[in-house]
Amino acid sequence: MEKQGIKPHVAVLPSVGMGHLIPLLELGKRLALHHGFRVTLLLITTNTPPSAAQHQLLCSPDIPSDLHILKLPPVDVDQVTSHDMLIMTRLCVITEHSLIGSLKSVLVALGGLGQTRALVTDFFSTQAFDICNELSIPAYLFCTTCIAFSAFALYLPKLDSDVVEGEFIDLPEPIEVPGCSPVRTEDLLGQVRNRKSDEYKWFYFHVSRMPLASGILVNSWEELEPVSLKAIKENPYFKHIPTPPVYPVGPLIKQQETLSRVDVECLEWLDKQPPDSVLFVALGSGGTLSLEQQNELAMGLELSQQRFIWVVRHPTDVTASGTFFVDSVDMDDPRGYLPEGFLSRTQGVGLVVPSWGSQVAILGHPSTGGFLSHCGWNSSLESIAHGVPIITWPLYAEQRMNATMLVDDIGVALKLEKGAGGQEIARVVRMVMEGEQGQVIRNRAKQLKQSAAKAVDIMNGSSHHSLSFVSNLWKTTYI
C-alpha cells in the first residue's frame, strides 16, 4: 500500500539510442501527466559523453515534476565492446552489462519509496524481466516499432525452427506472418539475414523472450494498423504462443524541442515559402550516406527544382548507421563534402543544415509538404502525425519493412528503389510535391493526422483509453 498522498510508482527503461529513448520518455510523461504516477526513467549510460541531442531532450522544459531521470552507473564501453562489433551487438552488450551490474539494486532502492507497480522496457533490455521476476515487479514490454514488426518478431522463433538450414533471405516466397501482410525477403532487417552472426543471436534472444512480458505496449494505434493488431490479438498462432495482452498507446512522439539558432533560421525561411511546398530531407539520428549516395541525392534535389531543407552529414562508406553511437552534431562546412557548386546553384530554393535540425518543428510547419526519410518508426509517426507524405529511403534495422508498409498498407509514402540515381530521385520528388499520386498520399497523410490526434486525445482517444486500462491494472492489481 502507498502512503497516503504518495502517487504509485512506475519505472521506465529505454535501451541505448535516441530511437528508444524518445518514445519511452514520452510514455513516462503521459503516465506522470495524465495517469497519476510518479515515474522514474532509468537511463543507461557509458563512459562517453551523451550526444547533444540527448542532453537537449532530457533537459527539455516540458518534463513534468513527477518524472525523474535516474542515470544508471556508466558502462566502460572500451572494456565490454570491440571496434568490429556491429550496431545491435554493441547496443545489446552495453545494455546487458548495465542491467546486470546495477538494475536490481536500483529497483530495490526505488522500492523504498513505495512499491514499484511495474517496469516498462523495450526490445533490447529483456534481461530486466529476470530481475523484475526476482523482485515481484510486473515487467512490460514497450515496442518502439510498428505492430507489424512486433508480429514478425513474435513469429521469428517459429520461422527459425521451420527453416532448418539456410537463410531467410534465400526463401523462395515472402514470409507469411499469420494474419499479417507478407514480409518480402528483400525487406528483412540486416540482423536476421545471417543466422550464424552475433547480431542474429542477440535479436533472437530478445524477441524469443517477448512472451515473458506481462503485457506489450505498442507505439501505434488501432486505425493505423488494424490488420496487424487484429492478428496479434485474435489469430490462433499468436494465441497459442501465448502472446501477452497487447495495448496500442501511440503515437507517442516528441511534442516540442528546444530550438537552436539554426532551427530558428530554418523556421524563418519556411515562413517565406508557400504552403506544402518544401521537401524536408533528414535520415534520422544515426543515418549516414555514402559519398556516392550523397552526390546522387544532391543531384536529384537540384534536378527536381523543388524547395527543400536538407539536414546533411559528412558521408561515410563504412556503415549506414554511422552516427548511432557518435554525436551527430558535427558542424563541418558542407561545402567540403557536397558536390562542387551545389550550394550556390540551389541558393534560395534549398536550405542545407549541417548535422541536426528540429524535425518536429519543421514537419509541423505549414510550408513543409514532403519528407524524404529513412523510415525509422519515430520519424514515420512524426510525419504521419503532422500530415506530411513520405519518400522512403531506408538505411538499416527494420526501416525497409517500415518503408514497404508505409507505401503498400498505410498509403502515405512513395518508394525510392535501392540505388536510385539523381534522375529517379528528381522524378519521385516532383511526383510527391506536384503530381496526382503525391496528392493522393498527401490526402491520406492529412486524414491520418486527424486520426493520430484523436487516438491520444485524453477525452475519448482509443490509445489514451488503452493506456488508462493498463494504468488502472497497475494501480489495483499489483499491490
Catalytic residues: 20, 122
Q: In what order do the strands lie in the sheet with 9-13?
A: 67-71, 38-43, 9-13, 116-122, 139-143, 216-218, 246-248
In single-letter form, the type of residue at position 240 comes to: H
Q: Which residues pair with 4 in a beta bridge?
A: none
Alpha-carbon distance of 188 to 102, in angstroms, equals 34
In single-letter form, the type of residue at position 206 comes to: H
How many residues make up the chain in this entry? 479
| 305 C-beta neighbours (distance < 10 Å), count | 13
Residue 307 in grid coordinates: 524547395
Alpha-carbon distance of 23 to 217, in angstroms, equals 11
Q: Which of 309, 353, 357, 359 is nearest to 333 (CA)?
A: 353
Q: Which residues pair with 461 in a beta bridge?
A: none
CA quadruple 420, 426, 428, 429: dihedral sign = positive
Q: Which of 91, 304, 291, 86 is nearest to 194 (CA)?
A: 86
28 neighbors 20 (Cβ within 8 angstroms) = no
385 neighbors 253 (Cβ within 8 angstroms) = yes
Measured CA distances, 164 to 158, 402, 419, 446 (Å): 11, 27, 33, 45
Measured CA distances, 152 to 17, 159, 306, 417, 451 (Å): 22, 9, 38, 23, 25
Alpha-carbon distance of 417 to 370, in angstroms, equals 17
Alpha-carbon distance of 449 to 252, in angstroms, equals 13
Mark 358-381 as b/e (b = at least 16 C-beta within 10 Å): bbbbbbbbebbbbbbbbbbbbbbb
Q: Which of 199, 283, 8 is nearest to 118 (CA)?
A: 8
143 neighbors 218 (Cβ within 8 angstroms) = yes
- Chain-centroid distance, C-alpha 25: 12
Question: Looking up cell 549506414, which residue turns up?
Answer: 320
Q: Which residues pair with 216 in a beta bridge?
A: 141, 246
Alpha-carbon distance of 325 to 313, in angstroms, equals 15
Residue 400 in grid coordinates: 525497409
